Amino acid sequence: MFEFEPVARKTVPPAHFGYMASGVDDEVTLRANREGFLKFQLRPRRLVDVSKVDMSTEILGVKFDTPIIVAPVGGQKAFYTGGEIPVAKAAKVGNHLQILSTVTTSSVEEVTAARGAPIWYQLYATNKWEIAKAFVTRAEKAGCLAIAVTVDRNGGRNQETLTRLQRTDTRECSACHDRSSMEANLRRRPMYDGVDVTGLTSGQSSAMTWDFFKRLRDTTKMKIVIKGILAHEDAKLAADAGIDAIIVSNHGARAEDSGRSTIDALPEIVEAVGGRMPILIDSGFRRGTDIAKALCMGAQGVCIGRPYIWGLGAFGQPGVERVLELLRIELRTIMQQLGAPSIKHLTPAMVRRA
């Protein structure tokens, strides 16, 4: 799978590749997300019949063939013509849950049609409630099953790697961006069509509190998911508030440079939740063994971001299909080696801290 990245680097414009590949500040968290898996070891069991392996799982009442989830990534037409549409078609092939970004370059209606099944919609809430309400209403009308609210982008971010790569890209990228103002830039996004963005200076909210979710619950019948939890205190508050699921995430190391991997944060969050709601996780997952560790530790699903974008940038839909297929193959292999014929057989006893 790692061979897709250098191919994508050659085919995707430098500024676009940098948007996908970079972290923030010194990128300590970007490295920590990979190194975090080294802190945990697998404990395989023997003499178990694993001639047949069932990787299917149920998330919020819907069955999928795999716990591998297509994470929300914005602006996918920056990486390949068609953007989110070939990704949706690839997700359909493997029956993966797909989560669509607020800053998608294809509409939620188009992506849902291409996926051929309901998806989740990821929400960036601005400081204007009416904008969030418009997104939620549209997503629900399109048949989305859940709204995944990102809570880890409260302010700006210092992406030095991206800035360096942008210097090497001499194109006038007006096809993707309008840097004249935030309003002009957002109006290029399909989900902002017909939405009043007058006076908006940021695509994210710096004032969101738990009150937002009370208001959201009164607005939609969709399941409500919080994306961006890293502390057990917040996980407990989410469970207490009746949130339907959470995603343990550090935004792929693109929010703050905390230096803490999501896999390291997972155990305390699982303990705090106590089985009251599903826990998903993302950030840094590249191997079937990474996925297996998270599932053993209590996650119900693992969201994949950069790897499928490598596949998209390199080869379009076939590239995305192959990346997801490789992850499924690796997960099936490690499940056999662990003595786990199904997802439910991946237990905490199969992993230990190194």
Give the residue extent of every domain in the chain.
Answer: 4-166+204-353
Residue 236 Cα distances to 211, 229, 256, 275, 297, angstroms: 16, 10, 22, 11, 17
Catalytic residue among 16, 96, 251, 345: 251
85-121 pLDDT, tens digit per residue, is 999 999 999 999 999 999 999 999 999 999 999 999 9
Max intra-chain CA distance, the chain: 64
232 assigned to active site: no
Residue 244 Cα distances to 69, 145, 152, 198, 235, angstroms: 17, 11, 18, 33, 11
Q: pLDDT below 50 — which residues of the chain?
A: none
Fold of 4-166+204-353: TIM Barrel (3.20.20)
Q: What is the pLDDT of residue 191?
A: 84
Q: Is 339 exposed, middle or buried (0-12, 13-18, 19+ CB in 10 A)?
A: middle
Q: Quick one: which of 44, 17, 39 has its CA closest to 314? A: 17
Q: What is the pLDDT of residue 155?
A: 64
Q: Which residues contact 41 (CB under 8 A, 6 or more apart)?
A: 351, 352, 353, 354
Considering the entire predicted model, what is its pTM?
0.94
